[in-house]
Chains A and B, each alone.
Chain A
Amino acid sequence: MVPQPVHAIKTPEELLHRMTDRIRQSIELPEILNTTVDEMRRFLGTDRVKIYRFDDDGSGEVIAEAIKDERLPSLLGHRFPADDIPDHAREMFLNARQRTIVNVSKREIGISPLLCHTTQQPLKTNLWVRPVDSCHVEYLTAMGVRSSLVVPVLHRRQLWGLLVAHHRVPRRVSRKELEIVQLIADQVAVAISHASLLQLTRLQGQHEALINQVVSLLHSTSQDPLQKALDQTVMALQCAGGRLYIPGHGSKAKFQLATSGIQPELSKTSAQRRPILEQHPDWQAWLDAETPHQMVNRLWAVADITRTQLSWPLVSALMGQDIRGILVAKLTHRNRFLGYLSLFRQSIDFETVWAGRLDETDPRQRRPRQSFETWLEIKRDQPQPWAAREIGLTQDLTDQFSSVIYQIQLYHEVQTLNTDLEARVIQRTAELQRLNESLRQEIIERERTFQELQRARDSLKRLSHQNELILNSAGEGIYGIDTEGKTVFVNPAAAGLLGYTRDGLIGQFMHGLLNYSTADNTPRPWQQSPIFKTLTHGQIHHVTGDVFERQDKSSFPIEYVSTPIYENGNIIGAVVIFKDITERQIIEAMQDDFIAVVSHELRTPLTSIRAALGLLAQETLEIPGPKRQRMIEIAFSNTKRLVRLVNDILDVERIKLGTLNKKACNLANIMSQAADEMRAMAENHGIHLDVFPISTPLWAAPDRIIQTLTNLLSNAIKFSPPHTAVEMKAQRVDGDSLLLIEKQLNARGRDSLQAMLGISKTLLLISVKDQGPGIPDNKIEDIFGRFEQLDTSDIRRQGGTGLGLAICRNIVQQHDGKIWAQSTVGVGSTFYVTLPIQTEFSLER
């Protein structure tokens, strides 16, 4: 420090002023104290002034000293044991603000309390003087002091230290001096307060600076901020090592460990892996058992681990690194446990300069100190306690660590959540895309199916329409029934044939409705019906001749086919296709009759031929000559008859089945040819043949027309009595001649003519008239049938076959004409043939 200009102090006020000034000029306590002792010694003129400061344990140290010309040995930096100034003495200094003035020579001590001993009120009383304790005298004497002035210095109601003035020779202390010294002590107290405040401020500044440093490290973006912050913390707290342990969250997560400086080494386990201190089972047990620091929960400050309940493996691990003190802070934030911050301190060697050795073994222990010879005490392997300031600092740092770790963890959790979320979003998106694709495929598939369905539907509709058309246009009656025999569908032909409407048949039990019967009109039970068998056994039945009944109860023979309807292998019904075979049966019956008659008619001449020839062939038989001749004639005439018969039969069938070879011809020629053919026969019979032809063009098969006319002429000649006339006449029938002609005709003839006029406006009417016996009215139509005869024997006599008129009718019908007979029995018969006259256009074809 810069020495101040020294000049004599004139007045106490000046002293105080100077001191105050100097105190104001400096903020550093040692400087103030040195100045104080210096000024005070000058002012008092004593040999020594010193300031003694107490420590917490009651011992003390001289921290400022001013000595005049080395008249007394320096005690600066020397420590004095607590017993040197016993408790009671210290108590008096504190409680009564007792000031003492000792005169060693007089062996008296002056005591001047500032406060009442009991009320602690300021006192106005003066100095009490009483004999001083001999020990005190010896003590001072040993120090070479004859006179001592002691004033306590208080700070925050604690005895901070003593302001002491020593003098080698006895010295009187005036009241004024005492007051001045008291003022000085008060000033010192003020300075101490200031300095203490300054110190506190400085410490707080350091504290905050450190925290800021650590915080900025923790929040820095550099690599491993926790490590750097830990390093800084270890360094700032003057620790040998430290570690930050953060357990992993969840079973798989890995713990984090940052270390700085020396580290405890746990002995390896069998797994050849060095265990982690904080994962050791004894660790948590220890923390549970150990009382946390009184100021801060969740913080354990252990100065000496040997004095804790820490288990041997842990102690050994720590001691192995010479670790003596440990400070553990449990990191928590918002009720979440985050880990541990541990700081390690090694043991330390303490050096103390003592003012005189305190010999514990000295029997004069209680006696005053004889020598104040300086000696150096060295204490080795001492634990370093954790100061409250350090604990506070640690706690603050711990909070910062916790906060940051919490944030990091939170960040990681959010990050993990985000990653997880992203992964899930990606996964979900992929799923949705897959789903979307499959949906798209499904839609396409459905679209396709729908189109196919539509096509199938259209095709079905077409088919159905076609089926409908087929059903509707079919000539056969068609109906469908279900398995119970109820009608499901009916075509118009079926309804028409049965005399119902289609709707009237739907849903009906057809078997009953139609009164299904056999050919002889015996009703068939439903279970014996072939249709029933079709439904039950799936057989196709073709039935001919059974009988259905119409709505009007009339019945008709039918032919039908019943076919099962299958669906998926099951019979779901049957279709019955039927037709009315009335006409066919009639035709068949007629054909049967025809065959029977033909057979009979052929056998008849054959019988004669065979009998005659059989007899003639027998040489053993003696047949008389005339008889023999007769047999030959019989055989011959019957052979001719057989030939005619065969020709006629063939004609009938040929004309009916075949097409005629029509061509343009003239009626007059045809009639002349026919008449010429029959003229010989007529002469044989004695018949006069009259022919009245007309010349008119005709589209016809001339040979067939001639055959017809000759047939009619032949009949007329055969049945006419001799010497009568047969007349063949042609007439044109049109508007002019119709009435005249109709007068010749009976009702049948007029009807036939009218029917023909409905087809053609102009007709030809050819008549062949005889004077024969006539034909009974009831036979007048039958004669046009085959083998229909009036009198067979007569006909045979005339050489007829019974087929002539049938052939005539066939030929005329093939020319779109009509043939009929009009007769009066006993008068004669007239056969009429009408033919349409073709138009010019038709003829040109």
Chain B
Amino acid sequence: METKHILIIDDDADIREATQLCLELTGHWDVWKASNGPEGIAIAQSKAPDVILLDMMMPGMDGLAILQRLQDNPKTQQIPIIILTAKAQSHEQEYFGQLKVLSVITKPYDPMTISDQIFSALA
């Protein structure tokens, strides 16, 4: 089975680290990490991950802007994007659902099932 590559774009270092360990242990993901938008976009362009796990609320370039940039870029527009956000209010969730994303996962997530959620979203 070919190893899948996933890119985590999140400004919180602890979340990046804990999520990486989750995905590696439970789904054998090859995890790449970025702490801000430009970094993430750059990785996405250069490495072309199978899926991007995108946080929405970040200082500087926020999740929406990153999403827009990725989808505007022909090199990255095919990469499926899953939103991983702490914005859990219903109107926020509703708004995210309307975006051109594969799925929305709310923080805090279940570390044992997150990998399966990503796989099933991709399937």
Query: Which residues of A pack against B, CB within 8 Å?
Result: 595-596, 599-601, 603-612, 614-615, 618, 621-623, 627, 630-631, 634, 637-638, 789-793, 796
Contact = CB atoms under 8 A, between A and B. Distances in A.
A603 B108 contact: yes
28 contacts: A596-B87, A596-B89, A596-B92, A599-B86, A599-B88, A599-B89, A600-B88, A601-B86, A603-B86, A606-B107, A608-B12, A608-B14, A608-B18, A609-B108, A611-B18, A611-B22, A611-B109, A612-B14, A614-B111, A614-B112, A615-B111, A618-B111, A621-B25, A627-B21, A631-B21, A790-B59, A791-B60, A796-B13
Contacts of B89: 595-596, 599
Nearest to B113: A614
Contacts of A630: 17, 21
B112 A793 contact: no
A615 B15 contact: no
Given A603-B108, A615-B25, A608 B86 contact: no
B107 A638 contact: no
A255 B13 CA distance: 146
B31 to A, nearest CB: 13
A792 B11 contact: yes
A220 B64 CA distance: 144
Interface in B45-59: 57-59
A603 B13 CA distance: 14
A793 B59 contact: yes
Interface in B97-119: 106-112
A96 B79 CA distance: 196
B59 A789 contact: yes
B17 A634 contact: yes
A322 B60 CA distance: 165
Interface of B: 11-15, 17-19, 21-22, 25-26, 35-36, 57-60, 86-89, 92, 106-112
A614 B21 contact: no
A618 B21 CA distance: 13
The interface centre, meaning the residue of B14, B36, B88 with most chain A CB atoms within 10 A of its CB, is: B14
Given A599-B86, A603-B107, A614 B15 contact: no
A153 B112 CA distance: 194
Contacts of B36: 793
A381 B57 CA distance: 168
A101 to B, nearest CB: 185
The interface centre, meaning the residue of A595, A608, A611 with most chain B CB atoms within 10 A of its CB, is: A611
The interface centre, meaning the residue of A608, A615, A623, A630 with most chain B CB atoms within 10 A of its CB, is: A608
Contacts of B19: 611
A623 B86 contact: no
B107 A604 contact: yes
A485 B59 CA distance: 53
Contacts of A615: 18, 21-22, 25, 111
B54 to A, nearest CB: 14
B52 to A, nearest CB: 18
Nearest to A608: B14
Contacts of A608: 12, 14-15, 18
Contacts of A631: 18, 21
A607 B107 contact: yes
Contacts of A791: 59-60
A796 B12 contact: yes
B1 to A, nearest CB: 19
B111 A611 contact: yes
Given A611-B22, A623-B25, A791-B59, A604 B15 contact: yes
B11 to A, nearest CB: 5
B14 A634 contact: yes
A643 to B, nearest CB: 15
B14 A637 contact: yes
When A and B form their complex, which 9 residue pairs have the shortest distance between CB atoms, in order from nearest?
A614-B111, A603-B86, A611-B18, A608-B14, A607-B107, A607-B108, A610-B108, A792-B59, A600-B86
The interface centre, meaning the residue of B17, B21, B110 with most chain A CB atoms within 10 A of its CB, is: B21
A791 B11 CA distance: 10
A45 B3 CA distance: 224
B21 to A, nearest CB: 6
Contact of A634 (B18, B25, B107): B18
Contacts of B15: 604, 607-608, 611
A609 to B, nearest CB: 7
A607 B109 contact: yes
A779 B5 CA distance: 39
B86 A607 contact: yes
B59 A623 contact: no
A71 B106 CA distance: 200
Given A608-B12, A610-B108, A631-B21, 20 more contacts: A596-B92, A599-B88, A599-B89, A604-B15, A606-B107, A607-B107, A607-B109, A608-B14, A611-B19, A614-B111, A615-B18, A615-B21, A618-B111, A623-B25, A630-B21, A634-B14, A634-B18, A790-B59, A791-B59, A793-B35
Contacts of A622: 25
Contacts of B22: 611, 614-615
A718 to B, nearest CB: 16
A604 B18 CA distance: 12
A600 B57 contact: yes
Contact of B21 (A595, A601, A610, A623): A623
Contacts of A600: 57, 86-88
Contacts of A637: 14
The interface centre, meaning the residue of B13, B15, B86, B112 with most chain A CB atoms within 10 A of its CB, is: B86
A596 B25 CA distance: 32
A599 B85 CA distance: 11
A274 to B, nearest CB: 127
Contacts of A609: 108
A408 B60 CA distance: 140
Contacts of B58: 792
Contacts of A618: 111-112
A607 to B, nearest CB: 4
B66 to A, nearest CB: 15
A718 B96 CA distance: 35
Contacts of B110: 610, 614
A400 B109 CA distance: 149
Nearest to A638: B14
Nearest to B35: A793
A606 B92 CA distance: 19
A609 B19 CA distance: 11
A589 B92 CA distance: 15
Nearest to A793: B11
Contacts of B106: 603
Contacts of A599: 86-89
A601 to B, nearest CB: 8
A451 B106 CA distance: 77
A693 to B, nearest CB: 36
A614 B23 CA distance: 12
Nearest to A627: B21
B16 to A, nearest CB: 9
Nearest to A592: B89
A453 B68 CA distance: 79
Contacts of A595: 89
A103 B4 CA distance: 221
A604 B85 CA distance: 9
A595 B112 CA distance: 29
The interface centre, meaning the residue of B17, B22, B106, B111 with most chain A CB atoms within 10 A of its CB, is: B111
B94 to A, nearest CB: 13
Contacts of B57: 600
Contacts of B109: 607, 610-611
Nearest to A791: B59
Nearest to A628: B21
A229 to B, nearest CB: 133
Contacts of B59: 789-793
A612 B109 CA distance: 11
Contacts of B86: 599-601, 603-604, 607
B25 to A, nearest CB: 5
Contacts of B60: 791
A637 B26 CA distance: 24
